[in-house]
A and B are shown apart, each in its own frame.
Chain A
Amino acid sequence: MRTLLPYMRKYIVYAVLCPLFMILEALADIFIPYLMSRIVDVGIANQDIEYIVKVGLIMVGAALLAMFFGVVSAHFGARAGFGFAAEIRQQAFEKVQSFSFANLDQFTVPSLITRLTNDCNTIGQVTMMSLRMAVRAPFLMLFALIMAFNMNAELARVFMVAVPLTAAIIGAVLPKARPLFQKLQTRVDRVNAVIQENLIGIRVVKSFNRQHHEEKRFKERNDALKNTALYAISLVISIMPMLNLIVYSTIIAVLWFGGKQVSAGTMGSGELISFITYITQVLISLMMMSFFFMQLLRGSASAARIIELLNTEPEIKEPKQPVKELKDGSVSFEHVSFSYPGSREKTLKDITVHIKSGEIVGIIGSTGSSKTTLVQLIPRLYDVTEGSVKVGGVDVREYDIRALRDQVAFVLQKNTLFSGTIRENMLWGNENATDEQIIKALKQAQAWEFVSKYEDGLDHRVEQGGDNFSGGQKQRLTIARALLKSPKIIILDDSTSAVDMATDAKIQRVFKSELKDITTIIIAQRIASIQHADKIIVMHEGKIESIGDHATLIKASPIYREIYESQQKGVGMDCIIEEIE
C-alpha cells in the first residue's frame, strides 16, 4: 500500500479530516457513559432533578454532535477513498498509455481491464473503510481505557488482561487467514477458468461429446474451492465468539470486583454501569477492526496488482535531443537482430536491407517467418537487440517517438475501429482533417465506394471493435485512417487479406500512382498483392531468404516459386488489372 500513498496527495485534506472527525465522534461517544454515571451517582443520590436534566441534555447534545461528526467523517472518507481510487486509476491508465508494445505483451487485455476497473474500485472502498475503522477502534479503546482508569484505576486493571488477550487472538488468526484467502482466490480463478473455456469452446465440447469429461474437470475444481472456502471461513468465524467470550468475561469480572467496591462504598453504581458500556463499546470497535482487517486482505491483493502495473517501466525511452523531422522515407536495416523480451531465441537474425524513399516493397514468407516483427521495428514499436534501423538516414532511437510515429503510418494486422462515427474514426489519423480530406483518403483506400452508400455517410455509426463492418470493409477503413496522417512511410501488415482481389489491385495502383512519394511496405499472403512491388523481400525463419522483383524471384527463390505456384489459378492477376485499366 505504501507505494500508492503518494497518489493520496490531492485528497490528503479529506484523508486527514475523515479520521479526525472520526476521533471527535469517538470522543463524544466516550463522554456519554461518563455523564450517565454522573446522573446515577450524583443526580439520583442527591435527588437533584435540575442536575439530572442538565446532564441529560448535555448527553443528548453530545450524541447529536457525535452524529454530525460521524456523518461528516463518512463523507470525507468517501471523498478520500474514491478520490484516491480515481487518482490511481488515472495513473494506471496513463501508465498503459506510456507502455511500449513489449510492455503490452506482458499483460493480457483482460488483466489490464480488471486492474483498471475492479481493482481500483476495491482500493477505493477499502481505503474509505480503513480511514474510518482503523482509527475508530484504537482510539475508542484508548479513550475508554483513559476514562476507565480515571474513574477507577483499580477496577480498570481488568482491561490489562482483556486487551492483550484480544490482541493475541486477532494476532494469531489473521496471519493464518492471509495465505488461506490467497489460496482461496486461486481456487476461484481455477473454477472461473474452466467456465470461461467451456463458454468459449462449447462447440468443441459438444462436437467431441466431452460434456462428462468437462463436468468431471469442473467438479474437481469446484470441490477444491468448497473445501478451501470452508477451511478459511471456519477460521474467520472463530474470531467473533472468542471476542464475545472475552468481553462478557470482562463484564463479569467488572461486576465481581466492582460489586465489591460498590458494596464497600468506594465506587458508585453508575460508574459500574458506565464501565459495562465502555466494555461493549470496545467490543463493537474490535469487531469492526477485524472486519477491517478482512477488507485489508482483499485490498492488498488489488493493490499488489496495481503496483505491478505502475512499477512496469516503459521499455522504450525518449532520446535526450530528439530529431523531430524525417528527412525522407528511406528505411535501412543494418545487421539487425531481435528477440522478444524474455525469449532467448532470436526472432530476427542479422537482417540488412535498404529501402529507398518512395519505393514499394513487398514482404512475403510463411507463418512465423517474422515478417511482422521486422516491420514493427520501423516505427520503433520494439527496439532492436543488435544492429540499427535507420529511417531517413537517422537511427530510429534518435527520433522524437511521436514525430516518428506520426510520419510512419502502420496498419496493424489485428486492427480495431472504435465506437463512434466513421468520421470520428478517421480523425484519429488527423484531428484537423476536413471532410474533403477524409473522403479523399477513403477514395484512395477504396472505402468511399461503400461509405458513400450510407444515408448518413461519414456520420455512420461504428460499433465497438467495428463489428458492424465486414472484414474487407474494416481493412479498407483502417487503411484510409492511416493515409490521413499523410505519412512519409506506410506499412500495411497483411491489411488487404479480406479485400477481394480486384479492389486489392485498385489499392495497389493508388500506391503506385497517386501516392508514389510515400514509401510503401506491404506484408501479404497473396502474391498478387505484391507482385508489382519494386522490391520483394522473402522471409524465412527470421532471415531474409532473397530480395528481388517478381521476375527475378520466380527464377531465383525456391520459396517464392513454391508460394507462387500454390496460388496459381485458372486466371492470373495480370488480366484483371488489364481489365480495370
Chain B
Amino acid sequence: MKPQFGHRRLRPKDAKNTLIRLFSYFRFNKVLFFGGIFFIIASSFLEVAANGMLSPIIDTIVKGESTAQVIRYILIMGAIVISISIFQYLGNLFMARLAQGTVHRIREEMFSHMQKLPISYFDKQTHGDLMSTFTNDVDMLNQSLEQSVSQIIVAVITVVGSFTMMFILSPVLTFVVVLMLGVMFTAIKYVGQKSAQNFRFQQAALADMNGYIEEMMSGQKVVKVFNYEDKAIDRFLEKNEQLRRASTQASTYGVMLMPIMGNLSYVLYALTSMLGAFLVMKNAMTVGNIASFLQYTRSISRPITMVSNQLNTLFAALAGAERIFEFLDEEVETDEGDVCLVREGEGAPYWKVPKENGEYEKVPLRGFITFKNVNFGYESGRRVLNNINLYAKPGQKIAFVGSTGAGKTTITNLINRFYEINEGTILFDGIDIKRIKKQDLRSTMSIVLQDVHLFEGTIADNIRYGRLDATDEEVVEAAKLANAHYFIKNLPNGYDTMLTIDGQNLSQGERQLLSIARAAIADPTILILDEATSSVDTRTEKLIAEGMDKLMEGRTTFVIAHRLSTVRDADAIMVLEQGEIIERGDHEALMKQKGRYYALNTGALELQ
C-alpha cells in the first residue's frame, strides 16, 4: 500500500466543471435544494433586518416618544427573531438532508460503478488510492456540502445586506468600512497564501511520516527479531520532529486569520464609534443609527473569516470530488454478447445461439474450450501471450507450468473474459466467447485463486457465496468434498462461526479449503485452479486432492501449479515460457523429452 497523501492533489484541475457536475446532483432533491437556499437567504436577510431594527427602537427610546411605539417595534423585532430561528433551522436541515442524500447517491453510484469496471482497471490502481477516494474524498465532500454551501450563501447575503444597510444609515461611515474591508482582504490574501503554502509542506511531511509508520508497523516482527527498535525510534524521531514543525507552522497560519479578522472588525468598531460620535454631534446621524451600524461592523467580518478559513478545505474537497467523478467516468466492462445460457428445470442446460434468420440454435453446455492463435498483452505493445493454440475436451484436466511471468494465470483470465484478447479466438462449445453474455459465461466457471478472499459473515455464508440458494445440506456436502468439514466442525460455532474481514481468524490453509468448498458448491462446468493448494502443506494437499478429484470429475479443469506433484496426472501439461507454449504432452511424454519440464521436475530450475 502506498502512502495515502502527498501525491494526491489538493486543488481541482477544473473547478468550474466539477462544481457544475456536483450541482447537477441537486436535481434529484429540487425541493430540498431550493427550499434550503430560500430559508437560508431568508434567515440571513432577516438577521440584517433585526440589526436594522435597533436603530428605530433606540431612537424612539432616546427621544422619549410613546411606549406604544416602542412596543410596536419590539413586537416586530420579536417576530423577526422567531422567524430567523425557524428559517435557520429549516435551512440547515434542508441543506443537511441535501448533502446526505447527495453523498448517499454518490457513494451508491461509486460502488455499483466499481462492480462494473473491468479487472484491468484494478491492476492500474493501488487499493490504498481507491479506498482513499471512497472514504476520505467522499467524507470531505460530505462535510463541505453540509456546511460550506450554506456558509457561502450566508456570507454573501450578510455582506451585501449589511453593506447596503450601512450605506443607507451613513454613506460617510460606509467609506471607512470600505477602507477597512480593503485592509481585511489584504490580510486574507497574505495569510491565505502563507497558509496554503504551509499546508502543502504539512501534507508532504505527513505523507513521509505515514509511509514510514506503515513500513515499520508492517515489518514490526522483523524489527523485533533484529533488535532494531532503537534505530527505528531514531529515524522516527527525526520525521516526527519534521512533522511537528510543519504542522505547527501550517496551523498557526490557518488559525491566525480568526483573531486578525475579529480584531480588525473591532478597529472598525472603534473608528465607527469615533466618527459616528462626530456625525451625531453634527446631527448627521442618530444614536440609534450608530447602534445598528456597530452591529453591522461586527456581523460583516465573521462570515468572511469563516469562508476564507475553509478555502483550503473547500479546494481539497473539490479536488476530491473531481477524483470521484474521474472514477465514475472510467469506462465500464462492455457486454455485447447475444448468446445466453438456458437452464430449464431438469433438462440439461444449453446455449441459446441466435441465427441470422432470427431463429435460435440450441447448443448443449459441455465445457469444450479451444484457443485459436490467441495473442494478448495487458498494455498495447507488450505482448504477454503469443500465438496460443490449445483445446480442452469436456472433462479433461489441462495443467500449465512455467516460471513467474510466463503467462499461466493470464490464460485462465482470458477464458472468463476478465481481459479481452487482442487477436485470435477462444471458443466455448464451439461458440466464440465474445458472443456469450459475460454473466452466463462466468456462471459456468469456478476459480480458486492462490490469494483467498473471504467475506465478512459466517462460514456457511462464505461457502454459499458460490451458489446463493444452496441448502444447508449442500453447504456441508461441499465442505466435506473439500475436506473442510473437519476443521469447521471443530470451530466454536461450527458453520455459524463468524469470519472477520477476509477471514483473518483462519489459517491460510483453512481459508484455502473454504475457497475450494465455495467453488465446489457452484457446480461449475469449468474449474480453474490457480495455485490453489500452494499454501497448504503436502499432507493436507493430499487430503484436498482426493476431494478435488471428485470435484474435477466430469468438469473441464485448468490447473496452474508450482508444485509439480499436483499436475502429474493431467491429461495434458503445457509448459509456458515467455508467453509461448514450448512443450506439451502428458507427464510421461514430457519426462522422456528431457526438455524444460524435465529440468523443472529435477529441480535444476527455480520456479517461483
Closest to A270 in B: B287
- Contacts A52-B274, A78-B251 given: A63-B115 contact, CB under 8 Å? no
A485–B228 alpha-carbon span in the complex (Å): 12
Answer whether residue B169 sits at the interface, using C-beta atoms and an 8 A cutoff. Answer: no
A82→B248 contact, CB < 8 A: yes
Closest to A89 in B: B240
Distance to closest chain A CB from B293 (angstroms)? 10
A262→B62 contact, CB < 8 A: yes
Closest to B104 in A: A226
B274→A64 contact, CB < 8 A: no
Answer whether residue A320 sits at the interface, using C-beta atoms and an 8 A cutoff. Answer: no
Contacts of A19 in B (CB 8 A): none
Kindly specify which of B257-265, B350-358, B386-394, B425-433 makes contact with the partner chain: B257-265
Answer whether residue A77 sits at the interface, using C-beta atoms and an 8 A cutoff. Answer: yes
A64→B89 contact, CB < 8 A: no
A399–B237 alpha-carbon span in the complex (Å): 29
Answer whether residue B343 sits at the interface, using C-beta atoms and an 8 A cutoff. Answer: no
A47–B107 alpha-carbon span in the complex (Å): 66
Kindly specify which of A323-331, A333-341, A509-517, A564-572 makes contact with the partner chain: A564-572
B54→A276 contact, CB < 8 A: yes
Kindly specify which of A154-162, A188-196, A387-395 makes contact with the partner chain: A188-196
Answer whether residue B589 sits at the interface, using C-beta atoms and an 8 A cutoff. Answer: no
Contacts of B465 in A (CB 8 A): 204, 208, 210
A116→B62 contact, CB < 8 A: no
A418→B217 contact, CB < 8 A: no
Contacts of A7 in B (CB 8 A): none
Answer whether residue A39 sits at the interface, using C-beta atoms and an 8 A cutoff. Answer: yes
Answer whether residue A173 sits at the interface, using C-beta atoms and an 8 A cutoff. Answer: no
Distance to closest chain B CB from A342 (angstroms)? 12
* Interface size bracket, A side: 35 or more
Answer whether residue A252 sits at the interface, using C-beta atoms and an 8 A cutoff. Answer: yes
Answer whether residue B522 sits at the interface, using C-beta atoms and an 8 A cutoff. Answer: yes
Answer whether residue B161 sits at the interface, using C-beta atoms and an 8 A cutoff. Answer: no
- Contacts A78-B251, A245-B82 given: A198-B115 contact, CB under 8 Å? yes
Candidates A117, A203, A237; contact of B210 at CB < 8 Å: A117
Contacts of A57 in B (CB 8 A): 274
Contacts of B209 in A (CB 8 A): 117
A571→B601 contact, CB < 8 A: yes
Candidates A44, A77, A213; contact of B277 at CB < 8 Å: A44
Closest to A132 in B: B255
B251→A125 contact, CB < 8 A: yes
Contacts of B564 in A (CB 8 A): 569
Kindly specify which of B22-30, B373-381, B535-543, B570-578 makes contact with the partner chain: B535-543
A252–B281 alpha-carbon span in the complex (Å): 27
Answer whether residue A121 sits at the interface, using C-beta atoms and an 8 A cutoff. Answer: yes
Candidates A36, A210, A233, A406; contact of B269 at CB < 8 Å: A36
A576–B605 alpha-carbon span in the complex (Å): 12
A280–B299 alpha-carbon span in the complex (Å): 9
Contacts of B225 in A (CB 8 A): 379, 381, 405, 409-410, 412
Answer whether residue A149 sits at the interface, using C-beta atoms and an 8 A cutoff. Answer: no
A128→B255 contact, CB < 8 A: yes
B258→A56 contact, CB < 8 A: no
A542–B439 alpha-carbon span in the complex (Å): 46
CB proximity to B under 8 Å, residues A83-135: 83, 85-86, 89-90, 93-94, 96-101, 104, 108-109, 112-113, 116-117, 121, 124-125, 128, 132
Contacts of B12 in A (CB 8 A): none
Answer whether residue B443 sits at the interface, using C-beta atoms and an 8 A cutoff. Answer: yes
B58→A52 contact, CB < 8 A: no
- Contacts A96-B220, A273-B290 given: A193-B501 contact, CB under 8 Å? yes
Kindly specify which of B13-21, B128-136, B312-320, B362-370 makes contact with the partner chain: B128-136
Distance to closest chain A CB from B263 (angstroms)? 4
Contacts of B82 in A (CB 8 A): 245
A202→B222 contact, CB < 8 A: no
In the complex, per-residue mask of B445-489: 1 if CB is within 8 Å of any chain A CB, else 0? 111010001111000000001101000000000000000000000
A132–B256 alpha-carbon span in the complex (Å): 12
Distance to closest chain A CB from B194 (angstroms)? 12
Contacts of A562 in B (CB 8 A): 539, 542
Closest to A93 in B: B236
A241–B404 alpha-carbon span in the complex (Å): 65
A59→B601 contact, CB < 8 A: no
B115→A211 contact, CB < 8 A: yes
Answer whether residue A313 sits at the interface, using C-beta atoms and an 8 A cutoff. Answer: no
A238→B277 contact, CB < 8 A: no
Distance to closest chain B CB from A272 (angstroms)? 7
A576–B97 alpha-carbon span in the complex (Å): 73
Distance to closest chain A CB from B198 (angstroms)? 11
A94→B221 contact, CB < 8 A: no
B224→A381 contact, CB < 8 A: yes
Distance to closest chain A CB from B608 (angstroms)? 4
Distance to closest chain A CB from B320 (angstroms)? 15
Distance to closest chain B CB from A440 (angstroms)? 19
CB proximity to A under 8 Å, residues B475-529: 501-502, 504, 507-510, 518, 522
Contacts of A93 in B (CB 8 A): 213, 216, 232-233, 236, 240
Closest to B449 in A: A203
B263→A67 contact, CB < 8 A: yes
B404→A525 contact, CB < 8 A: no
Answer whether residue A358 sits at the interface, using C-beta atoms and an 8 A cutoff. Answer: no
- Contacts A211-B116, A218-B108, A252-B81 given: A573-B267 contact, CB under 8 Å? no
B255→A566 contact, CB < 8 A: no
A571–B604 alpha-carbon span in the complex (Å): 11
Contacts of B345 in A (CB 8 A): none
B260→A71 contact, CB < 8 A: yes
Answer whether residue A433 sits at the interface, using C-beta atoms and an 8 A cutoff. Answer: no
Candidates A78, A499, A570; contact of B247 at CB < 8 Å: A78
A36–B269 alpha-carbon span in the complex (Å): 9
Closest to B130 in A: A199
- Contacts A82-B248, A470-B608 given: A90-B240 contact, CB under 8 Å? yes
A428–B225 alpha-carbon span in the complex (Å): 10
Kindly specify which of A299-307, A500-508, A547-555 makes contact with the partner chain: A500-508
The 9 closest A-B pairs by CB, nearest first: A70-B259, A501-B603, A56-B274, A201-B453, A500-B606, A59-B270, A67-B263, A63-B266, A248-B81
Q: Which residues from chain B sit less than 8 Å from chain A, CB to CB?
A: 50, 54, 57-58, 61-62, 64, 70, 74, 77-78, 81-82, 84-86, 88-89, 92-93, 96-97, 100-101, 104, 107-108, 111-112, 114-116, 119, 122, 127, 130-131, 134-135, 146, 206, 209-211, 213-233, 236-237, 240-241, 243-244, 247-249, 251-252, 255-256, 258-260, 262-264, 266-267, 269-271, 273-274, 277-278, 280-281, 287, 290-291, 294-295, 298-299, 302, 404, 416, 418, 439, 442-443, 445-447, 449, 453-456, 465-466, 468, 501-502, 504, 507-510, 518, 522, 536-542, 564-565, 591, 601-608
Given A97-B229, A277-B298, 14 additional A-B pairs, CB 8 A: A63-B266, A74-B259, A97-B223, A97-B233, A124-B247, A128-B255, A201-B454, A207-B445, A242-B85, A259-B61, A381-B225, A416-B218, A470-B404, A566-B542
Can you list 21 A-B contacts (CB < 8 A)? A39-B273, A59-B274, A63-B263, A75-B252, A78-B248, A81-B248, A86-B243, A104-B221, A195-B111, A196-B501, A198-B114, A199-B130, A201-B502, A203-B119, A203-B447, A207-B446, A222-B104, A241-B86, A255-B77, A273-B290, A498-B608
